[in-house]
Amino acid sequence: MTEFRAPKGVPEYFPPRSSAFLAVREALAYPARHAGYGYIELPVFEDTALFVRGVGESTDVVSKEMYTFLDRGERSISLRPEGTAGVMRSIVENRLDKAGLPVKLWYAGPFFRAERPQHGRYRQLQQVGIEAVGSEDPALDAEVIALADEAYRRLGLRHYRLDLTSLGCAQCRPAYRESLSAFLAGLDLDPATRERAAQNPLRVLDDKRPEVQAQLGDAPLMVDALCTDCQRHYDQVREFLVDAGVHWQEAPRLVRGLDYYTRTTFEFTHEMLGAQSGIGGGGRYDGLMESVGGDALSGIGFGLGTDRTLLACEAEGLEPGAGAAVAVFLVPIGAPARHVCVRLARELRAAGLSADIAYGERGLKGSMKAADRSAAPFVVIVGDDEVATDTVGVKEMGTGEQQTVPLAEVVAHLADRLASTTTNLDHARKDPRVQNP
């Protein structure tokens, strides 16, 4: 019989690690949700031309990595390799920019790139992203960067770095491009790299091969060629980042892998992830919306890697999402008790308390083993005696203490006990003696 396996380069998340994955995704999205960004659910595939025009034909993403196919109508379709172009298309198509600016959106989900799989580099990668469109305010640049920084800090990450630079604008980039092209013309580059330099010389700066990087030490820098407006904008972004309490380091050679970036550009890297150290990044894209048929509105956004952020947490020994899957585990002993537990599980869940049941006709010993595996802090035991007296046994697993509680009062009783447990845990987390190292 054929043994089916997941496609190569596609990570799967299942219990218990899936709890950590969900916790990371929630932490990455939380700052945007609480900063006024609305959620947008994007198509998983789009017209190929959208990415060619929006991302850039000369990028590796478009030229080498997209999953592209013809549908039944002979239309060229591509699985989305990133989120920004799709958001721009949606803003234009649905006239979201007519309801007031800036348009602030966040999204999450899988993206697809036909790369050579390796640790932290996947063909199906998970990201959380935001886009803020319709304002050139440098304070908005700082907000976007600060939201990403807050997300990583919420997870307890410490060994990450923010690299920051400016890639200029349509006024100052052409002159810089000419000087960079002239510099690259004197280097010993292979034909493919020389062709890439002819299409977009900045892309060569993003080449990670040692033999290329070794020749780029004296390459001209965009930050030295900024026009007055771009320099003023970059200075103000950095001032607002100071206000926001964000630390960064200057990275004048930083070039992101997409062609649409202008002015503010940034990347977060984690020192414990090896070659695939990038955990998120983004920047401003002042001409992108116009290139996909919309108005000439400025925008800035980021994409944060959920997969790599989880790897970063694991590298630092953090355990996002750790803890019990349920708060209460119900143990029925005997047929009548099973009916009681089914009704009680419904009542607990309706009251907002997570609950599970020891299914199957197990004895007390087998059911308590299942309760141990659940890691629930409280176990409710119901046997024939409890059914006869309309009571239940409530056992606190941490202390082993067990008491009899009237069935009619057990939901309120457990809600109070769990609230007390959560309050104590919150106090412990605020105690500097028990913070993550």
Question: In the chain, pLDDT over 90 holds for what percent of residues?
Answer: 81
Does 194 map to a domain? no
Give the residue from 398, 390, 393 showing the smallest Cα distance to 420: 398
The predicted pLDDT at position 156 comes to 96
Query: Alpha carbon of 247 to those of 160, 217, 240, 264, 418: distances in Å?
Result: 11, 26, 11, 15, 38
Could you give phi then psi for residue 293, rounded to 5 degrees? Answer: 100, 10
Q: How many domains does the chain have?
A: 2
* Same structural domain, 285 and 399: no
* Same structural domain, 73 and 167: yes
Query: Alpha carbon of 141 to those of 162, 229, 407: distances in Å?
Result: 14, 15, 56
The predicted pLDDT at position 68 comes to 96
- Of 293, 315, 337, the residue at which a domain comes to its end is 315
| Tokens matching residue 122 | 């996947």
Contacts for 139 with CB less than 8 Å, ≥ 6 apart: 236, 240
Residues pairing with 112 in the sheet: 124
Reported confidence tier of residue 421, pLDDT bands at 50, 70, 90: confident
Torsional class of 278: left (φ above 0), alpha (ψ -120 to 50), beta (otherwise) = beta
- Strand arrangement of the beta sheet that strand 262-270 belongs to: 38-39, 103-112, 124-133, 299-305, 278-284, 262-270, 160-166, 249-250
| Tokens matching residue 433 | 């003696």
The residue with greater pLDDT, 92 or 54, is 92
User: Quick check: pTM over 0.85?
Assistant: yes
The predicted pLDDT at position 422 comes to 62
The predicted pLDDT at position 436 comes to 35
Show the domain range for 373: 328-434
* Same structural domain, 308 and 353: no
Does 209 map to a domain? no
Please state, rounded to an integer, the average pLDDT across all residues of the chain. 92
Residues pairing with 69 in the sheet: 77
- Of 281, 315, 349, the residue at which a domain comes to its end is 315
Does 396 map to a domain? yes
The predicted pLDDT at position 260 comes to 79
| Cα(355)–Cα(341) distance, integer angstroms | 10
Arithmetic mean of pLDDT, 171-187? 93
The predicted pLDDT at position 427 comes to 47
* Same structural domain, 124 and 25: yes
Reported confidence tier of residue 2, pLDDT bands at 50, 70, 90: confident
Arithmetic mean of pLDDT, 68-82? 96
| CB-CB contact of 117 with 96 (8 Å) | no
Reported confidence tier of residue 431, pLDDT bands at 50, 70, 90: very low
Does 303 map to a domain? yes
Residue 81 has pLDDT above 60, yes or no: yes
* Same structural domain, 429 and 306: no
* Same structural domain, 274 and 332: no
**Per-residue pLDDT reduced to its tens digit, 312-337:** 999 999 999 988 789 999 999 999 99
Contacts for 318 with CB less than 8 Å, ≥ 6 apart: 155, 156, 157, 436
- Of 285, 315, 345, the residue at which a domain comes to its end is 315
Reported confidence tier of residue 1, pLDDT bands at 50, 70, 90: confident
Report the range of poorest mean pLDDT among 15-19, 53-57, 143-147, 352-356: 53-57
| CB-CB contact of 99 with 68 (8 Å) | no
Does 130 map to a domain? yes
* Same structural domain, 127 and 72: yes
| Cα(282)–Cα(84) distance, integer angstroms | 10
Does 216 map to a domain? no
DSSP label at residue 200: -
The predicted pLDDT at position 432 comes to 35
**Per-residue pLDDT reduced to its tens digit, 6-29:** 999 999 999 999 999 999 999 999
| CB-CB contact of 113 with 79 (8 Å) | no
* Same structural domain, 311 and 333: no
Give the residue from 393, 284, 414 showing the smallest Cα distance to 347: 414
Of how many residues is the chain composed? 437
Residue 423 has pLDDT above 80, yes or no: no
Contacts for 11 with CB less than 8 Å, ≥ 6 apart: 122, 124, 307
Does 114 map to a domain? yes
Give the residue from 117, 118, 62 showing the smallest Cα distance to 85: 62
* Same structural domain, 152 and 293: yes
Reported confidence tier of residue 428, pLDDT bands at 50, 70, 90: very low
| CB-CB contact of 116 with 104 (8 Å) | no
Arithmetic mean of pLDDT, 121-149? 97
| CB-CB contact of 127 with 44 (8 Å) | no
* Same structural domain, 303 and 369: no
Residue 416, domain CATH? 3.40.50.800
**Per-residue pLDDT reduced to its tens digit, 25-49:** 999 999 999 999 999 999 999 999 9
Give the residue from 364, 366, 369 showing the smallest Cα distance to 385: 364
Does 68 map to a domain? yes
Reported confidence tier of residue 425, pLDDT bands at 50, 70, 90: very low
The residue with greater pLDDT, 345 or 428, is 345
Residue 185 has pLDDT above 90, yes or no: yes
The predicted pLDDT at position 61 comes to 86
Helix, strand, coil percent values for the chain (each to nearest 5): 40, 20, 35
* Same structural domain, 302 and 403: no
Residue 283 has pLDDT above 50, yes or no: yes
* Same structural domain, 337 and 234: no
Query: Alpha carbon of 239 to those of 222, 223, 376: distances in Å?
Result: 20, 17, 48
Residue 86, domain CATH? 3.30.930.10
**Per-residue pLDDT reduced to its tens digit, 187-233:** 999 998 998 888 888 878 878 889 999 999 999 999 999 999 999 99
